[in-house]
Amino acid sequence: MADLTLHDSLAEIDAAEWDAVAAPEQADGRPIDPFTTHRFLSALETSGSTGAGTGWQARPLVLRDAGRLVAATPLYVKGHSQGEYIFDHGWADALDRAGGRYYPKLQIAVPFTPATGRRFLGAEEHCATLWQGAIAVTAQNRLSSLHATFCTPEEALALSGVDGTLHRVTQQFHWENRGYGGFDDFLADLASRKRKMIRKERETARASGLTIRALTGDAIQPQHWDAFWAFYQDTGSRKWGRPYLTRKAFARFHDTMRRDMLLVLAFDGDRAVAGALNFIGRHTLYGRYWGCIEDHPCLHFELCYYQAIDWAIANGLQRVEAGAQGEHKLARGYLPVETHSLHWIADRSFRTAVDRYLQAERRAVGEEIEVLTAYGPFRKGAPQE
């Protein structure tokens, strides 16, 4: 007989058991993405990046059959809407104005990580059981809502409409590898004006005289994290007011995940002055964080976008996901793609209002993707998806 269990922490779940459903493919190589692995999620917990006082309290939900873990989902109690990248602040304001209470809510997600991936871990047949179990937890605790963000299109299709579940479509910008043998092959697919612009940006970045190094695995040393922490703090304080990750998180990443990461650093002599952190999946390079302590023209584009493309081509990866938002990515070869999330709202009247909004938003997103793709940087006749 199968039983659902709500845990108080990922630490209560054996790492091998969790990873057997989260990333079984890593037995013969890299996980499809590293973000739902036990090592990533537990690094957030043990570093204090999630947990008490953060607004992200882990409550992983697991399904066991005869005592064996067969499915799981990374579930969190949220006290705010920060670090999600699927924005529902307007919903919270509307419910509060109507006399309701939006927070706390439940969120199935990878904290601080706008990367599409499986959110219902295990065999496909267990997907609905996990979602309906999470809905039951939401209803039993009289919470406002349940959300699953950056789920796969297949999960969104399977669960949309289940017990009133709403489907939201948003967009990001991804770079696709069309079988390129090198960066120049990618440039050859672009319109002449965009090709010249990118070449000029790369030349401008290199003219600074900085040395750029792409590091992964044991090539990443503790002093590199010291430098990157300064970059991350600068970016975090400007964008979010307070960085989401603690310094200890980067130490945990170094201990358990350095082979899952690509750290691109720019050096002035022996001193690192800027950097971009990526996570490595089986088919995808995920751009996550950038920062600097000195401003150099076009260095952001070089470290975040062009170095990522270089590395993806050299290592046979199919795509680069450059994170949330940013239409400036379009001119640099990153095309708009749909991203998906699921939402269950307890109050039926409010759910109906949100549903009307999402229907209009889906149409608008579809039209915007069509327009942006048509005005993309690729020359006529070049392959586009």
Give residue-wise pLDDT tens across range 85-100: 999 999 999 999 999 9
Under 8 Å between Cβ of 117 and 35: yes
pTM, entire model: 0.95
CA distance linking residue 273 with residue 223, whole number of Å: 13
Q: What is the pLDDT of residues 288-329, one digit of tens each?
A: 999 999 999 999 999 999 999 999 999 999 999 998 878 899
CATH 3.40.630.30, applies to 178-317: yes
Q: What is the DSSP string of 134-172?
A: HHHHHHHTT-SEEEEEEE-HHHHHHHTTGGG-EEEEEEE
CATH 3.40.630.30, applies to 2-171+337-374: yes
CA distance linking residue 372 with residue 166, whole number of Å: 26
Q: Look at residue 383 in the predicted model and tell me its pLDDT.
A: 57
CA distance linking residue 114 with residue 329, whole number of Å: 16
Q: What is the pLDDT of residues 222-240, one digit of tens each?
A: 999 999 999 999 876 666 5
Domain boundaries, the chain: 2-171+337-374, 178-317
Under 8 Å between Cβ of 174 and 372: no
Range 143-155 burial, b when 16+ CB lie within 10 A, else e: bbbbbbbbbbeeb
Angle at 318 between CA 317 and CA 319, to 5 degrees: 100
CA-CA-CA-CA torsion sign (36, 42, 47, 51): positive
CA distance linking residue 277 with residue 243, whole number of Å: 15
Give yes or no on whether 2-171+337-374 and 178-317 have one common fold. Answer: yes
CA distance linking residue 154 with residue 151, whole number of Å: 8
